[in-house]
Amino acid sequence: MNAVDYLRISLIDRCNFRCLYCMPEGSELDYILQQQLLTHSELLTLLREVFVPVGFTKFRLTGGEPLLRPGVVDLVRAIASMPETRDLSMTTNGFLLAGMAQNLYDAGLRRINISLDSLEPETFDKIIGNRGRSRWTEVWHGIQAAYQVGFNPLKLNVVVIPGINDNEILDLAALTINRNWHVRFIEFMPIGNGDLFGNKGWIASEELRQQISEKYGLIESGVRGNGPADVFQIPGAKGTLGFISQMSECFCDRCNRMRLSADGWLRPCLLNETGQIDLKTALREGVPTRELRDRVQQILEIKPEINFKQRDSGTNAGNYTRTMSQIGG
């Protein structure tokens, strides 16, 4: 079991997209009210007085769409300036990134993941649930802006959805040949879309690797990140290809992360809520941070026993109804 030192922090549950894999069609969303969100001050208190003392040094800002959070640049600056911060990154859909990339970089953010599920505007808009003017161009401009500013590594997240974008695998992989970009193919998790494990609504990473290898060749890469991706490379390419295989190849035994939701719930797993605690309410009720550290430490101790495919009975059994935007990605 890897040391658990990586915290994914959801800044907001709202998003300006409605992606198929994040907010399935027909899902009813109860957005968190402004007063229910962790304030910047509360979040920084938890980081400095609870998470850092128990060993967390790597932080990723997520959502919803984190760039919708008011004051996000100031928050990035505050977290990046903490002496204990070894790594700070962000996952974004990229729509607002073109106008914010430089400010985020100047604030101390150096690593960024941008969702790019298709190179075809029509397919892209279908995936993000857009029925108006295409948003693909804004996202592509955001990617270019981040690249020009100097984000390194710049990662592109591709959720592979059968019958929708799986015909673009080779074109997306080719983005890494002449650019120092790192494309990550993610197996589709049908969260909130019926029985998560009852139907194979996903394509195994091994199938994708075989397809790319037959076209371009594929070798293992020496590059390793903070996450669960198995990293490969097209021979001679500047960038890399990562495969995140949460459906076909369970990697719970090497998970090094926990998740803090926008309303202050700490969860040890993407889908298994065993041991979750409401840190925001405890903080607002005046519970000493040393006691909160003890509670987090208790979750760390049971973390090795938690597997997202072996959830508890009762509220965690059967279909999982919480959407990805509500979980925090």
The reply to whether 1 falls in a domain is no
156 neighbors 183 (Cβ within 8 angstroms): yes
The reply to whether 245 falls in a domain is yes
The b/e string for 296-327 (b: 16+ C-beta within 10 A; e otherwise) is beebbeebeebebeebeeeeeeeebeebbbbb
65 neighbors 12 (Cβ within 8 angstroms): yes
> For the residues 6-13, what does the mean pLDDT come to?
95
Q: Which of 101, 139, 89 is nearest to 118 (CA)?
A: 139
* pLDDT tens string 71-109: 999 999 999 999 999 999 999 999 999 999 999 999 999
107 neighbors 85 (Cβ within 8 angstroms): no
55 neighbors 5 (Cβ within 8 angstroms): yes
- pLDDT bracket for residue 221 (50, 70, 90): confident
Q: Which of 80, 57, 77, 66 is nearest to 6 (CA)?
A: 57
- pLDDT bracket for residue 313 (50, 70, 90): very low
The reply to whether 202 falls in a domain is yes
Q: Which of 35-44, 97-106, 256-265, 296-305 has the lowest mean pLDDT?
A: 296-305
Count of structural domains within the chain: 1
The b/e string for 82-102 (b: 16+ C-beta within 10 A; e otherwise) is beebeebbbbbbbbbbbebbe
The reply to whether 119 falls in a domain is yes
Phi and psi angles of residue 157, each rounded to the nearest 5 degrees, phi first = -90, 125
The reply to whether 206 falls in a domain is yes
Per-residue pLDDT at 321 exceeds 60: no
* Distance from C-alpha of 181 to C-alpha of 155, rounded to nearest angstrom: 6
- pLDDT bracket for residue 225 (50, 70, 90): low
CATH code assigned at 153: 3.20.20.70
Question: What's this model's pTM, rounded to 2 decimal places?
Answer: 0.89
Domain residue limits at 116: 6-327
What pLDDT is attached to residue 253? Answer: 72
The reply to whether 78 falls in a domain is yes
What pLDDT is attached to residue 222? Answer: 74
* pLDDT tens string 122-131: 999 999 988 7
Per-residue pLDDT at 25 exceeds 70: no
Per-residue pLDDT at 142 exceeds 80: yes
- pLDDT bracket for residue 319 (50, 70, 90): very low
The reply to whether 65 falls in a domain is yes
What pLDDT is attached to residue 200? Answer: 52
The reply to whether 94 falls in a domain is yes
* Distance from C-alpha of 300 to C-alpha of 303, rounded to nearest angstrom: 5
